Amino acid sequence: MDSSLERIDAYLVTALRGLSGINLTSLAEALAIATGVTVFVWHVVSWALSPLRRYPGPFLAGWTNLWRFVLMLKGEEYHLTVKKLHEKYGPVVRTGPNLLDIDYPELAKVIYGTDGKWSKTEMYQNNSTIIDGKITYHLFSETNQVIHARKKRPVVKYYSMSSVLALEPKIDGVINEFCKQLEQRFINGPAGPKDCDLGEWLAFCTWDFLSTATFSRSFGYLDKGCDFDGSIAIADTSLDYFKAISQMPFLDYWLDKNPIVRIGPANLTNVTRIAFESLMARIQGKDANYDPKTHDYLQYFIESKKKNPELVDDGTIMEYLLVNLIAGADTTAVTIRSIIYLCLKRPTIYRKLEEEILAAGLDPERPAPYNVARQLPYLEAVVREALRFHPVVAVTMERYVPESGVRLPDGSFVPGGVAIGMNPYVVGRNKDVFGQDAQEFRPERWLQAPGEDQETYRLRRQSMNAADLTFGGGSRICIGKTLALCEVYKIAATLIQRYEIELADPTKEWKVEGSWFTRQRGIITKLRLREHNLF
């Protein structure tokens, strides 16, 4: 035993002597070169063997995801660049070593289908939190279709039309507060009328609305008139992080999910605290904000736990609460901003919309009822067109091709495991579906044209509906679509019937930031109460 230890000892000494003879700088250089060569060879081999080699796209994108990561970091450019690439290369563009961005509306129902075969890629997984040391995914970020279905089943019915309409009194309460604040601050204030950053106020309204609909407690942005706890700004920063990191998802494990030092965007601490406090108070029967006469999502989720104890626990309820707030507030604000701004920029369209809303016989003292606003054909056309023209989500919504592969309309075959996706911005401008003027904002495209027969209109509308990915599609379609549209119709109709709205400087353009939520800034307006509202 002793002699073998001595032998190992002697061996180590010799080895160390040998190492000390080597120039450490040369060793480091050699290692760096070897690593570089290995990475290079690996890239060349992967590139040469890739089944996606035949598809056109930016040269760098075929080699590394850094191309799209950097593009996203730059901000506003992503969807515009991808659109230009489609104009240059056609319907299939390779935007990553394993990613194709396609503009084949006829495949929308296949890729975003209900059969559960096309799963989301890892790009979604970064939108997650660590709970008890474990990364936890929610309805939006869960990529496993079976687990996703298990999460969705207990709550999906609470987003149906009847459940949403049961919340209408709550929506009305927030719209009344919104109008009260606008009038006090920008119309009837002590210093007289003032310009209003309507875009910013719409965010205060939709955040307060979502918290009221979710746990009967307003965050208080409308009352305070500012992002007083910084949550709206944190949500923006988190999305900026998410949009870039989702292009190279593994980076998230070094940054946000780093177990040693977390290097990610700030957490939505205040939002999480309020959600947690509301849950605890409600379970203990001490929630003073809750009026059992009108339900809210927290109550729906508690009900779902009672009915499905094997699927829903308090942790799952927290997930449901937070995803409502994260996914539901800014998205709705972006949509209402688009409706108001895009129409105000085109006075003929705005006047037509105004005339229709003013002729609808709405009670000027109350927020527009959803069932009336939803029946206005021109408002419907404007909402559809605003979502198409300025989709809230303008990234490639990636899905993995199932094992069986898929044949594209150009005849080429894409094997299983490749990531494919469509971008609502690109597909929404497809000229075959939306017409030669797809680049224009023209709500009339959603209406029957003069002289167009009923059947032609039906088919045209059907193909536009099929290509409309503004709320995603299939089993992963936006769960909050009905809730969002109820809010959108009510707020747009109420604002237009109650106020004369003008852009403070009609020559000024808004500024669009980002692609995961194309949020806009700089919608500065002048508001005046309409005569009939001077009660």
Positions that interact with ligand HEM (CB under 6 A): 139-140, 152, 323-324, 327-328, 331-332, 335, 392-393, 397, 470-472, 476, 478-480, 483-484
- Answer yes or no: is 478 a known binding residue: yes
Q: How far is the CB of 204 from ligand HEM (least distance, A)?
A: 16
CA 390 to each of CA 110, 121, 199, 381, 517: distance values in angstroms, whole numbers, following the listed order: 24, 24, 15, 14, 10
Nearer to ligand HEM among residue 480 and residue 514 (C-beta): 480
Q: Shortest gap between Cβ of 481 and ligand HEM (angstroms)?
A: 6
Least distance (Å) between residue 373 CB and ligand HEM: 15
| CA-wise closest residue to 91 among 409, 314, 357 | 409
List, in order, residues 6 or more apart from 456 with CB less than 8 Å away. none
Looking at the Cβ atoms of 202 and 248, the one nearer to ligand HEM is 202
CB of 170 to ligand HEM, least distance (A): 13
Cβ-proximal residues to 11 (8 Å cutoff; 6+ apart), any chain: none
User: Please, which residue, 485 or 529, has the CB nearer to ligand HEM?
Assistant: 485
Report the 10 Å Cβ neighbour count for 77.
14
CB 345 within 8 A of CB 501: no
520 pairs with which residues across the strands?
512
Which residue has its beta carbon closest to ligand HEM?
480
99 versus 479: smaller Cβ distance to ligand HEM: 479
For the chain, give the longest Cα–Cα distance: 105
Minimum Å distance from CB 310 to ligand HEM?
A: 20
Q: Which is nearer to ligand HEM, 397 or 529 (CB)?
A: 397
Q: Which residues neighbour 86 within 8 Å (Cβ) at sequence distance 6 or greater?
A: 93, 101, 103, 426
The residue (of 127 and 497) whose beta carbon lies closer to ligand HEM is 127
195: CB partners within 8 A, 6+ apart:
186, 504, 524, 525, 526
User: Quick one: 232 or 397, whose CB is closer to ligand HEM?
Assistant: 397
Compute the distance between CA of residue 305 and CA of residue 223 in angstroms, rounded to an integer.
33
SS (H, E, C) 326-353: HHHHHHHHHHHHHHHHHHHCCHHHHHHH
Q: Which is nearer to ligand HEM, 205 or 478 (CB)?
A: 478
* Complex with ligand HEM: residue 130 or 147, whichever CB lies closer: 147
Residues 395, 74 contacting (CB under 8 angstroms): no
* Nearest-angstrom CA–CA distance, 262 and 254: 8
Whose Cβ is closer to ligand HEM: residue 121's or residue 181's? 121
Name the amino acid, one letter, at 136: T
Contact 498, 179 (CB under 8 A): yes
Is 377 within 8 Å of 98 (Cβ atoms)? no
State the virtual CA torsion across 287, 288, 292, 293 in degrees, nearest 10.
Answer: -160
Least distance to ligand HEM from the beta carbon of 332, Å? 5
| Shortest Å distance, C-beta 237 to ligand HEM | 20
CB of 337 to ligand HEM, least distance (A): 11
Tell me the three-class secondary structure of 142-185, residue by residue.
CCCHHHHHHHHCCCHHHHCHHHHHCCHHHHHHHHHHHHHHHHHH
Q: Are 470 and 392 in contact (CB under 8 A)?
A: yes
Annotated binding site: 478
Annotated binding site for heme: 478
